[in-house]
């Protein structure tokens, strides 16, 4: 009988509970035992490790649609790679994680994480020697290389779209523009997708340079005197510091354009998991379990050309844009961004949405 560990790491998002529940269900049908590791690596650093064994009533199927992680994804002051590095405990931290995994006598561990967590898993792969390591990509940022979809992204787009839909009504009532700052870190996928969905007047993302004067001209020439301007949090303006939405708002005000800023913040990371994300969670859970059956290790589930398959963590890491992790010495992260040939950029332009200087 196989013993499978499940761990969620990094920022949470909708869909985590769905994939956890589907993993347990599929594992139990195979006669495997499933253990949940609480609070990610922080739970592994405790003695004994903080784990729970799943049964049919642990995570009821009706609760699997809820946001957040049933297993938790860390807390303030939690011991993880970043905090261990800052406190000079990284070597001791790695040894403790390795020791805990050996004590649990797991056959495989399924890590559900973002690009940072998956990059760390690959860079510290010796920790998982003797185990099958299967990663499942989840993030609202959609910044993970080698997969067309990540768990949580679709729900985040829906949450942001719903937020902006409501703002559009009051924008119309007051003949006013709203500058909405989205999450997404250095990747503009969330802003781009939601912006197309709501019919934004402008979408500003980190990957595309833009000119403030061109933006102002676009707004002044718009067919209406209200609307939404989406600004991804990773956008930077030369010579300015602070929240990009506030900087853009001040520029518009100086140009005589009445506007307000709005910050959906963590509402983008919550909300009942959409059907699309639930289906994706089920597909990736099934793919991960088949990978364990096939004795695969150091792999990540991925959607490519509508197929759910595994890709090696080595290929994942080397195919992205590799940058130094600012918080962990000698560790690098692999990132994906909006591609210049992303079809949504052309659609935005064709719909008259200002997205920057793309030509």
Residues in a beta bridge with 269: none
- Can you tell me whether residue 174 is helix, strand or coil? coil
Give the pairing type, strands 321-324 and 332-335: antiparallel
Inter-residue contact 244 to 206 (CB < 8 Å): no
Whether the CA torsion 226, 240, 206, 136 is positive or negative: it is negative
Three-state SS for 12?
A: coil
Count of Cβ atoms closer than 10 Å to residue 212 Cβ = 15
> Residue 189: phi, psi to the nearest 5?
-60, -40
Element (H, E) at 10: none
**What does the alpha-carbon distance between residue 26 and residue 58 come to, in Å, rounded to a whole number?**
15
SS3 of 137, please?
strand
Cα dihedral sign, 263-266-271-274: positive
Q: Is 105 exposed, middle or buried (0-12, 13-18, 19+ CB in 10 A)?
A: exposed
Q: Is 12 a catalytic residue?
A: no
Among 89, 84, 105, 1, smallest CA distance to 40 is for 84
Segment holding 125, helix H or strand E: none
Nearest to 298 by CA among 139, 129, 147, 142: 129
**Annotated catalytic residue within 39, 141, 186, 277:** 141
Count of CB atoms situated within 10 Å of the CB of 27: 23
Burial of 225 (0-12, 13-18, 19+ CB in 10 A): middle
How far from chain centre, in Å, is Cα 326? 18
Give catalytic residue positions: 141
């Amino acid at each position: 009988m196989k013993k499978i560990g499940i761990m969620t790491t990094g920022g949470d998002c909708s869909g985590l509970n769905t994939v956890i529940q589907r993993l347990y269900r599929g594992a139990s049908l195979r006669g495997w035992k499933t253990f949940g590791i609480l609070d990610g690596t922080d739970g592994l650093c405790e003695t004994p490790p903080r784990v729970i064994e799943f049964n049919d009533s642990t995570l009821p199927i009706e609760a699997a649609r809820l946001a957040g992680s049933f297993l938790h994804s860390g807390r303030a002051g939690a011991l993880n790679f970043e905090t261990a590095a800052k406190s000079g405990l990284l070597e001791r931290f790695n040894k403790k994680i390795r020791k805990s995994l050996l004590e649990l006598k797991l056959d495989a561990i399924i890590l559900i994480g973002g690009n940072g967590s998956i990059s760390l898993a690959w860079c510290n792969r010796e920790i998982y020697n003797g185990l099958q390591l299967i990663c499942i990509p989840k993030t609202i940022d959609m910044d993970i290389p080698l997969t067309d979809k990540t768990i949580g992204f679709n729900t985040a787009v829906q949450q942001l779209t719903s937020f902006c839909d409501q703002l559009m009504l009051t924008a119309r009532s007051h003949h006013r523009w709203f500058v909405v700052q989205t999450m997404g870190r250095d990747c503009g996928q969330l802003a781009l997708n939601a912006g197309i969905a709501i019919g934004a007047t402008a979408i500003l993302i980190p990957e595309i340079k833009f000119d403030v004067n061109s933006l102002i001209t676009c707004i002044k020439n718009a067919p209406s005197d209200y609307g939404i301007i989406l600004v991804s949090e990773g956008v930077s303006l030369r010579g300015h510091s602070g929240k990009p939405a506030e900087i853009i708002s001040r520029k518009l005000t100086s140009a005589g354009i009445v506007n307000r800023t709005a910050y959906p913040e963590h509402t983008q990371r919550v909300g009942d998991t959409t059907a699309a994300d639930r289906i994706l969670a089920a597909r990736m859970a099934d793919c991960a379990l088949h990978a364990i059956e096939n004795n695969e290790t150091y792999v990540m589930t991925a959607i490519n050309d509508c197929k759910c398959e595994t890709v090696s963590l080595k290929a994942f890491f080397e195919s992205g844009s590799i940058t130094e992790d600012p918080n962990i010495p000698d560790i690098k992260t692999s990132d994906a961004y909006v591609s210049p040939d992303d079809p949504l950029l052309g659609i935005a332009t064709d719909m008259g949405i200002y997205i920057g200087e793309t030509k």
